[in-house]
Structure 1
Amino acid sequence: MTNPSEHPRTDSPGVPPGVCPMGPGGVTRLYGPDAEADPYGLYEKLRAEHGPVAPVLLHGDLPAWLVLGYRENLDVARTPSRFSRDSRHWRDMREGRLTPDHPLAPISTWQPVCVFADGQQHERWRGAVNDSMARFDRRGLRRHVTYCANQLVDRFCASGRADLVHQFAEQLPMMAMTQLLGMPDEYSPRLVNAARDMIKGTETAVASNEFVQETLRKLVARKRAQPGADFTTWMLEHPSGLSDDEVQQHLRLVLIAAFETTANLIANTLKMVLTDVRFRASLAGGHMTLPDAVEQVLWDEPPFITILGRWATQDTELAGKPIRAGDALVLGLAAANMDTTVRPDLDAPIHGNRAHLAFSGGAHECPGQDVGRAIAGTGIDALLLRLPDLTLGVDESELAYRSSLMSRHLTSLPVRFTAHQPPRPALTAGGAETAQTCAPQPQPVPTPTPSVQVPSAPVSRSSWWRSLVRRLRRR
């Protein structure tokens, strides 16, 4: 197999002509409407033609390798000496083809953050992130998330209808993260739009990135002058002595990664609860809990389907493909989770198995994955407790996804339920009455949040679970 940098012909009986969006030299484009319409189908066509590693083209027809195999993804993630996270190794960047206004610039241009570093520098930056996350209070996280989830439900419960993507899944993570970072809550709606636009690699991605950067720049300056009990302050105070710019870039990293992954995880898990026969049958039989459903979703529909983020440091080989120094590699997380060499029966439910690559692997495995699980599990549990008769509002065939290079998410999730007036005052996490809102309080922030070791919130079998089981058994 020739190198993708040379735009080789890939004519092959494995893929009928015209099925895949083809770029120069017949190499498959990994972007554009055709490629994004069915990314999972595209991955399997590439796997059938090329095996576990396939040549592809990124935005602007930049060549790269898409890693499809489970073992090959782990190999790349665990060997930084061959496959670095430092994008300055990327040949196309060094030679000026990745211009500042390129759609991939916001997510691939080198920045002083742990995801673009290896070795001692990575340990310094990653240590500051881990230590600051470890200061979160695990009970405080669940109380805060439950409270914010109840606030969101209050906004639509009287109508008997809702779109759980726009009115719940996309709102809850940013409400939680703005509080954790110590920023004003009024930024949340604009940050939701900017964060999602950034990782799509759209024409407006650069402008969205500038808005996020300016917001965080102001936050760092404010916290330097007025410290609080929040992640931003703890990063500024860390013994590693991070500069303001280093803190700002890590806040951007945490904010964007936490928002997109958690929003997708919430939406996909809710869809599974409402539509998936495996979940309904297992739940009715008492064998699948909400944390089980979350892990099943992380296998089947990971929040990030790919990650652009490894660059070859030397000429090497991967699954028989010659990789040249400076080549870009895209980790195919969704494709790896569907690799039949490690998952022979793709339809079989997976209980308690966290060997998926939804959060990547190796030294750069997502440090906030348990925070995301806690936000998703706690938020969904609170929603189902408030709306125990929740049902899908349209036929499942009408649900649609929007995909980009890195992400695939539901465009909407319409639901119906029995309308009722919200309680007054609003519910807190413990069910007590309060007149507070989810807006930030005077420093210090009253509800700091969880440790990296936080497990998913336990499922209450005396609340929504029993109600849902009763409904399913009556069907």
Structure 2
Amino acid sequence: MNLFAPEVVADPETFYERLRTEHGPVAPVLVAGDLPAWLVLGYRENLEVARTSTRFTRDSRVWNLALEGRVPADSPLLPMTEWKPMVRFAEGDAHRRLRSAINDSLAGLNRRGVRRHVTRFANELVDGFCAEGRADLVTQFAQHLPMHVIAKLLGIPDEAAPSLVKATLDLSTGAKTAVASNEHIVTTLRKVVTRKRAAPGNDIASRLIGHSAGLSDMEVVQNLRVALVIGNETTVGLVASTLRMVHTDPRCRASLAGGHMTLPDAVEQILWDEPPFRTLVGRWAVADTELGGQRIKAGDLMLLGLAAGNVDPAIRPDVTASLLGNRSHLAFGGGAHECPGQDISRAIAETGIDTLLGRLPDISLAVPESELRWNSAWVTRHLATLPVTFTPKPPEETAQLFSVPRASEAGRDLGQGRDATSWPGGATSPAPRWPSLRHRFTHWLR
């Protein structure tokens, strides 16, 4: 079975269960160019691969197919598998060195400042369509909000964000232009690093450059790249899926109106049911081994089936059961390579959606739920469109309700300034304005 096949991309859940029935928790599959790989379907097996670097490494230089010259130079897999000096492909001491620089750089973020940037960009996007009375919340909101916020945090100029949106979409879909789009991202980040070395600012790029780990320019560029691409795609999917849930799932509406489910709860439910990355590339077997009843050869490519693992009957026999407060899903990976920016992704989704619903409280779907379309990516799956209608509002009537940071404040809000509360390290993401949401869902139920 080729994971790039249109029928698999269109209905991955059906094929996951077919593979699980035929092969168990680990199944042989094909990827681009009919290259063989292993798809890990079991929850426990996914964690075993993610947590056991002595058996399954992130160092793609051991990939047996690449060593045999079987991976074409234009393969859409290369942007995700070609080894580069970044944390994604590092292990051992090299990984600890790079990860410490990333963690320290993220720890310097002011979470209130991050929320203000999310609110600012969310309002700017809403201003672009609020007077029309209709919009597509995927193409006009979800696809743009994360990139604008992440670009700001990394130190990328605002005007570069639109082209980066398209480039990261190419990478996630495995488009023919994926290699060229990857080069555009790298070129953009090289310019950022050159500028920040000359004039550091309060941003992640500057912190990585100045970190005591002594990262080279190439290391800074490549680690910014992985943060940009994976952080953006993860958050786009999270925003789009959560927006669909709050507009189509009666259980969600009833729970929110009754006070039993908050927007963060809805976000976490989506991370269980529709993880933004349904398949994560990849790990490679260090030596011949066995996993889930399958004999894995040294250098074999392992694909973490995050979506399949989240619905593994061995740990989740009833997929309709409530999972409030349960964060043990696989959406952000696991082990030493677990996503370090996951709380930022949650903050963008929660604050951005809360801002949108606060501005336009009577949003309703413009088409039946059955007519909603999904994207065509093989590693990710989220809505391609979410058409809605609402009462038109002139931008100037509502924009004044929200505080937008002045340019002079933007840098301070990204660093350890006034009211600074940083994460990671146990801190929770900013709390959205729950009264507006409770009013909204109560209004729906009348």
Shorter-chain TM range is over 0.9
Aligned to 2:424: 452
Deviates most, 459-468 or 229-238: 459-468
Query: SS of the counterpart of 2:281?
Result: strand
Distance 1:325 1:463 in 2: 55
Decide which of 228, 232, 240 is 2:201's aligned counterpart: 228
**How many correspondences in the alignment?**
439
Decide which of 81, 90, 94 is 2:54's aligned counterpart: 81
Aligned to 1:70: 43
Distance 2:326 2:83 in 1: 34
Distance 2:273 2:212 in 1: 40
1:213 aligns with 2:179: no
Decide which of 223, 227, 243 is 1:250's aligned counterpart: 223
How far is the alpha carbon of 1:342 from its aligned partner? Answer: 0.8
Aligned to 2:419: none
Aligned to 1:125: 98
Aligned to 2:20: 47
Superposed CA offset, 1:62-108 (max 9, x none): 11110000000001111100000100111011111123311111110
Conserved? CA contact 1:112–1:246, under 8 Å: yes
Distance 2:288 2:146 in 1: 41
Letter of the structure 1 residue corresponding to residue 97 of structure 2:
R
Aligned to 1:316: 289
Aligned to 1:158: 131
Conserved? CA contact 2:111–2:430, under 8 Å: no
Aligned to 2:341: 368
Q: Spell out the pairing of 1:417-456 with structure 2 (5 A cutoff).
A: 417-423=390-396, 426-427=399-400, 431-432=402-403, 441=407, 445-448=411-414, 451-453=423-425, 454-456=427-429
Distance 1:257 1:100 in 2: 22
Query: SS of the counterpart of 1:263?
Result: helix
Aligned to 1:305: 278
Q: Spell out the pairing of 1:330-341 with structure 2 (5 A cutoff).
A: 330-341=303-314
Long gaps (5+) in structure 2:
416-421
Aligned to 1:10: none
How far is the alpha carbon of 1:445 from its aligned partner? Answer: 2.3
Query: SS of the counterpart of 2:395?
Result: coil
How far is the alpha carbon of 1:464 from its aligned partner? Answer: 2.9
Distance 1:238 1:231 in 2: 10
Decide which of 201, 219, 231 is 2:174's aligned counterpart: 201
Structure 1 length normalisation: TM-score?
A: 0.90
Conserved? CA contact 1:195–1:260, under 8 Å: yes
1:389 aligns with 2:355: no
- Higher relative helix content: 2
Letter of the structure 2 residue corresponding to residue 452 of structure 1:
P
Which structure has more relative contact order (CA 8 Å, sep 6+)? It is 2
Letter of the structure 1 residue corresponding to residue 349 of structure 2:
A
Q: Cα–Cα, structure 1 residues 433 and 67, in superposed 2: closer, same or farther, change >3 Å?
A: closer
1:286 aligns with 2:259: yes
Deviates most, 29-38 or 186-195: 29-38
Superposed CA offset, 1:426-451 (max 9, x none): 447xx2478x6xxxx47972431652
Distance 2:135 2:378 in 1: 28
Conserved? CA contact 2:111–2:429, under 8 Å: no
Aligned to 2:389: 416
Aligned to 2:146: 173
How far is the alpha carbon of 1:403 from its aligned partner? Answer: 3.1
Conserved? CA contact 1:107–1:199, under 8 Å: no
Structure 2 length normalisation: TM-score?
A: 0.95
Distance 2:442 2:271 in 1: 23
Letter of the structure 2 residue corresponding to residue 145 of structure 1:
V
Distance 1:268 1:217 in 2: 33
Letter of the structure 2 residue corresponding to residue 445 of structure 1:
G
Distance 1:267 1:290 in 2: 14
Superposed CA offset, 1:361-413 (max 9, x none): 11111000001001111101111111111111110000011232211121100
